[in-house]
Structure 1
Amino acid sequence: MIRRIKLPGWIVIILLLAGITFGINQVVAKVLEESPETNDSNEAKEKVTESSVYPGLNIRTVTKETNLYTLAVSQPYTEKSQINKPINEWVDKQKKEFTTGVKKSKKMLKKNGFRAHLNIQAETEKIADKIYSLQFQAYQITSGANGMTKMKSFVIDLNQNKLLQLDDVFRLNKNSIQDIQKMIRNKLHSNEKISFYIFDDELEKALNKPNNWKWSISHKNVTFYFNEYEIAAGAAGAIKVEIPIKEIKPYLNEKFAKKINVKLPEKENKKEEKEQHTDDYAKLDPDGKYVALTFDDGPHPEVTPRILDTLKKHDAKATFFMLGSQVEYYPEIANKVEEAGHEIGNHTMNHQDLTTLGLPEIKKEVQNSSHIIENATGQTPSLLRPPYGAWNDNVKQVAKQMGRPMIMWSVDSLDWKSLNAKAVNKKVMANVAPGSIVLLHDINSSTADALPRLLTSLEQQGYQMVTVSQLFELWDKKGAGPYYGKVD
């Protein structure tokens, strides 16, 4: 027998049902509020595609479109979880940052009818059998302001089923790290499109953390990546620094170089390692007698080869401060200087008095010369000698920004004035002292005439001829300078 519910009972039941309905609505509203999608979540369109890129390497691409955002993510993966994990973690981090940004901007996105966007693309390159380089670029924008670009790279060795670390690819030690840092620094400051935007303090912070470097390698280049705003103003964007294999191969791990078929002839290795000041380089004796001979204004098609021959006979090293305009005419002579193991410095493009120029013109003089020298020799000049030895605050500022110390001299041979071999020798020997930097020019035949006797005289007094950078290592010099060498 069913008992009838009296009026007060119905009121209680109605109130309970209303409470339950309200609670359910609150939960649903909360869920929708936390989702980056609109209330019309069933309108979201998602597409997943799979493809095989290389043996053992696949890629999954997800595209998604909602009323609030669009998304396109390409994500390489392998059969090995230890390889996939760090890749997935980085991609997931970008997606989480994007989702958080969409939540914060939800009201504004709805109001303005603007859709947020996330795009993660991965370029893959085969380096060797089952060794691949992955370069990620993630761009996201969640409001009407500028978006943000981030870079990441991974090098995969499926033969070993691992992600390669920096020390798997390079022979890392204090000196090699310093040399690679110098290469990166010089490349950045010689790029006139971005050098103006570089924050030197932030650059140094990034360079001083090799474990955090983002890098990839191919048969042509080693590339280092910097996120937007990481080392420069936003106008520079995300930055790639490409260093040719020719320049960086002395630092490659021998086993890895063999895997990617980069040949490192023993003779070439020893020469380049010596030039790049690795641990195998003979350290200078703090009590030794050293002098740095420097040659300006070349290369010259007749004089420079004569000077190279004489230096070779005496097993002497020197520093050649070259003009970009001369290297343009005689690139093969400049390359012979590099091949002989000598140091190449920058003497600007056209030998103008830099103190008469503004900052942009000074940068242009140095950068143009640097590009030409690098293209001809594969060596990036790390030292700057201002023409006429003339400098002011603007010149020093450019030298500091570009990471290139200004090198002057403590002994002037006056070879340009006397044009006489005996006079050159007499002038140098009367003023030379341990640690001297001697100014000569490899455009005068009289200087080439003077050099055999000059080297013999210096050797008889116990001097060893070294590069300017070797003196700097001995003295532990840093900064823009100017540096003049030592006088008696």
Structure 2
Amino acid sequence: MKRNLLLVMLILLGVGTWYYMAGAAPTTKKVPTPSFTGKYPGLYLTVESEQTRQYTTAVSVPKTDHDNLNEMLDNFITAKKEDFQKHLMLSSGQLGHFNIQTTPYQTSKSSYTLVLHTYAFMGGANGQTTVDVFHLDIEEGKLLEWGDVFRNDEDTLTWFRSSVAEQLHSNEYVFEELVEEALSDPKMMKWALTSTGLTVWFDEYEVAAGAAGVVEVHIPLEAVTPYVMTQISEQADEKAEGTMIIPSRPPLNPDGKYVALTFDDGPHPTVTPKVLEALEAYDARATFFMLGSQIEFYPDVAKAVAAAGHELANHTEHHPNLAQLTPDGIEAELERVDERIEQLVGERAKLVRPPYGAKNEEVERIVEMRGQTLALWTVDSLDWSHRNPTEMQKLIVDGIHPNAVVLMHDIHASTAEGLPRVLASLEREGYEFVTMSELLTIQ
């Protein structure tokens, strides 16, 4: 009996070891060391998007060097997304949309405040936006509390309530009876302390009518300083650097055999540099449809893309479904990216690729009015779905045709891994790699 029991235990131990070695057991992965230092040392950001028949999603996923903080942030995002899926109301002709925008604020050398705006359109007339705030000590790997930043006394709490209430009273949509309840416990409120002062957020309907949306108030730094416990980091001055001069290239031969490789959702600190290496090895030029939020986080990576002679194009600031935005919302999403690209290369993007390829007459009208071209694709690698280099190569090679526009994403390691094989296959078939703007000159 004992012998049989020992045999069973050895078998179970062997199966468990195989299970873990095969990667089936849950593990915690460290953030890869980036090839470039981002604007916010110790923080990393990438946008993960998804498209189904019922909804689209785009989430700015923040990471740190600490597993416990990453797990906490991942659990928050997962819970938000599951709540969206649970309450999604399918209606004719309407896709649900879920979007989390992450904005970092540096409070001190080792601390950041992450402000996450969550937008959920679950059907019906309007979507709803909520705000959540996380205060991180990225040196110690812990969450910061009220007393780590502010003086923890009654004078500070009284000052906080009165200062915020004064700002709220100037908003015509605010309901006085809601303000008192919202300010009852300042320690639980949503705030960020930066070099310009204190910003406080209230969700839709929390203190005002729905027409007000998310309510934001700001208190100047000089009024805040007497009540804080920490040394506030000064805002770094933007370096005035000359814009890059991108060398011109001769016109394309109308009889040539061309393909435009395009990459969405970057720049990314580890994947984009590997994509650049592969392109350089094949003397290939490509078009990178960048997110403004990623350019903000990784400006040096965006500069490296431009310096290598590739085209920078507009993929919106936060990856929303443009077809669900107001005209002002569409304009805002495109304008900020154009400003960022102009700072880098001296001119605005010629091309706009709407996230998910989602467009309507209003999107088309605004893009045309801005003097830009709406840029979709003809070959989809589906790299975001399968995350398989071999599958990516097969889908591209099987679908390739002269003057093709290939869609990939420079945020997945599998895409960078499979790209050299894609380039080699297409080169053997006689294709020359050009930017999408170059390709459009012969179509």
| Common fold by TM > 0.5 | no
TM-score, length basis structure 1: 0.41
Structure with the bigger RCO (C-alpha within 8 Å, sep 6+) is 2
TM-score, length basis structure 2: 0.45
